[in-house]
A and B are shown apart, each in its own frame.
Chain A
Amino acid sequence: MPMPSRGPAPSRLPAMAIRIAPIAGILILWEIAALSGIWPRQVLVPLEQVGATLLALASDGELARHLSASLYRLASGFLVGSVIGVSTGAAMALSRNVHRLLWPTFSCVRQVPVIAFIPLLILFFDVEDSFKIVVVAMASFFPSALATHDAVRDIPESHREVARLYRMPTAPFLVRLILPATVPQVLTGLRLGLTRGWLSLVAAELLAADSGLGQMMEMGRQLFQIDVVLAGVFVTGLIGFLLDNSMVRVERHLSRWRTA
């Protein structure tokens, strides 16, 4: 069926403008306040200075160094944490004995915010890269394990009955039934894990690191360079947004069948 073209294009521009207007308004107020000199320029940095700092950091490779350090930790921690998390979650949901063995401990430890483990992890791993990777891994482990567990457990009994009825062997049972039925929920868990991982990583880097966005901001704080701190806040937020947004896209793409 041909789709009628709806929503004329011109109306989109004002809508976008309305959404951006409040943000632009705040930025303009900021700029006016910064230029008015009510507060010292050191405290309320004009926006162009933040921009200049950001450019400078970007061009001399400083930003790239911190950014790549952070992203490397995030990626490896998330990979480790989510792989272990998904398999643990699935194992707990599929096997009654694994559930009995791990679930009580899992639900206990889950109550502790990952941030609270940071001092302990510093004692164990020192402040090297491995410490931050473990923090990210822990932060992404719990949401992904929990989501996978719930997703597998929530597969309707009727699905399993169909599989039994057709005497489906284990491998196709996992690939063709468990996997598609659980994908959306697991992805939501992974997205949460990624967000938590990013949050915990920034905290860990603020606390103890020789590189990374968090460390860059912490150094900026110690040297009273608000422009560097603001640049850090901006990049941190941007990364957080991009991570979340891309995960949402992946989720939507892989869960098409739900609405289709």
Chain B
Amino acid sequence: MKRLASFALALAFPALVLGWWEWESRQGLGHAYAFAPLEQIARSFLEMLADGRLALHAGASLQRALTALLIGGTIGIVAGVATGLSRVLDRTASPLITVMRQVPILGWLPLVALWFGNGDGAKLLLVSLSAFYPTVLNTQKGMQAIEQRYAEVGRLYGFTRSQSLRMIAWPSALPLIFTGISQALAFAWIATIGVELLFSASAGLGTEMMAAQVAARTDIVLVCVACVGVMGFTLNQLFALLRTRLLRWQPATAK
């Protein structure tokens, strides 16, 4: 009974919003311009699903985000390990990263466009940069936070430098590295949509949204917004699963 009540309340709010939306859409042509009727939104969704447009754009965005995650994340982890282990590198690279990071990712866009054009390469560069920051920062923090307790065990058993690195530093940094990657995943997804909105070329959900906006197709924009949300959420959940699997040595509370 109680569960039913909370379920009803959970549905009440969206129902209210949808009802209001539908009502607005019937208030003459001027309103229907922004408030596409619900039925039309559903129809557009099915249409885009059927003719493969949704899959095409979603696939392009996904591929862009993941490729950039791979590039930016790899460079970020390598740089994080290097700056985490070497003080010289830390002192050289960290101020640069800190300064660069002050500029919002999309603020680089006009410059990148002028230097590298607005093709896929420029997009990939910016999205990779957005994935780079969180991975490098978290990896570095992880490598620097090696617990003295475990380092002593290494000393007891005569660990070489490479053994300490492989068996103590790297695994103890892993949870933070994973945190970095999961942040990078979220940032890369946001940045992907952002660059697609701003560089309207080739396929992608952002590009499609922008085109729909120009054509005043609220229904298509909404379908894309929902798609962006669902995909972002799914990516996040999948990564969390992967993390739990790979870090199964962690006690449940530590996550």
Contact = CB atoms under 8 A, between A and B. Distances in A.
Interface of A: 18-23, 26, 43, 97, 100-105, 108-109, 111-113, 115-120, 122-124, 198-199, 202-203, 206-207, 214, 217-218, 220-221, 224, 226, 229-230, 232-233, 236-238, 240-241, 244
Nearest to A115: B194
Contacts of B193: 113, 115-116
B240 interface: no
Interface of B is mostly: helix
Given A22-B91, A111-B233, A240 B102 contact: yes
A207 B213 CA distance: 12
3 tightest A-B CB contacts, nearest first: A112-B229, A119-B213, A221-B110
Interface stretch (B70-78, B92-100, B151-159, B172-180): B92-100
Given A43-B114, A112-B228, A116-B209, A199 B10 contact: no
Interface of B: 5-6, 9-10, 12-14, 17, 33-34, 91-93, 95-96, 99, 102-111, 113-115, 189-190, 193-194, 197-198, 205-206, 209-210, 212-213, 216, 218, 221-222, 224-226, 228-230, 232-233, 236
Contacts of B205: 116
Given A199-B106, A233-B107, A19 B225 contact: no
A207 B225 contact: no
A213 B123 CA distance: 21
B47 to A, nearest CB: 19
B14 A19 contact: no
Contacts of B236: 111
Q: Which of B102, B111, B216, B230 has the most chain A CB atoms closer than 10 A to its own CB?
A: B102
A224 B114 CA distance: 7
Nearest to B217: A123
Contacts of B209: 116, 119-120
Contacts of A236: 103-104, 107
Contacts of B228: 112-113, 116
Contact of A206 (B96, B110, B233): B110
Contacts of A198: 104
Contacts of A224: 114
Given A113-B228, A199-B105, A123 B221 contact: yes
29 contacts: A21-B92, A22-B91, A23-B95, A100-B5, A101-B9, A101-B10, A101-B13, A105-B17, A111-B229, A111-B232, A111-B236, A112-B232, A113-B189, A113-B194, A115-B106, A115-B190, A115-B194, A119-B224, A120-B225, A123-B216, A199-B104, A199-B106, A206-B109, A218-B110, A221-B114, A224-B114, A226-B114, A229-B111, A236-B103
B95 A220 contact: no
Nearest to A230: B111
Contacts of B115: 43
A123 B115 CA distance: 31
B62 to A, nearest CB: 14
